[in-house]
Amino acid sequence: MKHWVRRPLPQHEEINVVFFRGVSTDALTRGLLAERRLPLAYGKSEDWSVIMHDMLSWESEDYDLVSYGRLCRGGGELAVFVTEPCKAKAHAPAFEYYRDGRLITHLSFEDLSRPGGENPHTLVQALTAAKVIGPEAAIGDDDDERLVQAIAEFFQLPELAMS
């Protein structure tokens, strides 16, 4: 399993990994450029595709939030891994899932007990089964990897060759 939350592109430090479907690569690229985020790599499969982009805005050189909801209106879906949101402050990665322009669920890897979005408990069963949360949760050095694995399996995110 590709580990998407720790330096997925070794030559770049702080990037977001965005799986998408129901949105064209061109439309998503144009939307990211309008958000002042530089796309760095692309991948495609039969169902989901992926784009990785700089977390920093090239204009403000800051971590202003990307308006992902605007980028997937009209039937699109985005599964976003915010890999290291402010490495200097040691914040943990985060995950967000958007459908039809709406934030369905999001969670911080730092505090899994406080998910948000329209349906914040979307991932509860998958995370409990993976023993990342719940009474049988096993705390370990591989927590982030198990969390990513559980999310990837739930949404059936593919392994992708990058270009």
Q: Which of 30-39, 51-60, 86-95 has the lowest mean pLDDT?
A: 86-95
Given a cut of 50, is residue 1 above it in pLDDT? no
DSSP 88: G
Q: What is the pLDDT of residue 86?
A: 57
Query: Whole-angstrom Cα distance, residue 109 to residue 96?
Result: 11
Of all residues in the chain, the percent with pLDDT exceeding 90 is 46
Q: Check: CB of residue 8 under 8 Å from CB of residue 17.
A: yes
The length of the chain in residues reads: 163
- Name the H helices within 10-112: 25-34, 68-71
Mean pLDDT of the chain: 84
CA dist., res. 16 & res. 32, Å (int): 11
pLDDT at residue 160 greater than cutoff 70 = no
Question: What is the helix, strand, coil percentage profile of the chain, to 5?
Answer: 20, 25, 50
- Predicted local confidence at residue 4, as pLDDT: 59
Percent of the chain past pLDDT 70, that is, above it, reads 81
Count helices and strands (H / E) in the chain: 4, 7
| Under 8 Å between Cβ of 71 and 25 | no
**Amino acid identity at 65:** L
Residue 38 CA to chain centroid, in angstroms?
16
The better pLDDT of the pair 47, 11 is held by 47
- The answer to whether the CB of 104 falls within 8 A of the CB of 95 is no
What tokens were used for 109? Answer: 């890897």
- Residues 61-74 have pLDDT tens digits of 566 678 999 999 98
Count of alpha carbons within 13 Å of 147, Cβ hemisphere only?
27
pTM, entire model: 0.88
Contact 28, 48 (CB under 8 A): no
Q: What is the pLDDT of residue 129?
A: 93
**pLDDT at residue 87 greater than cutoff 80:** no
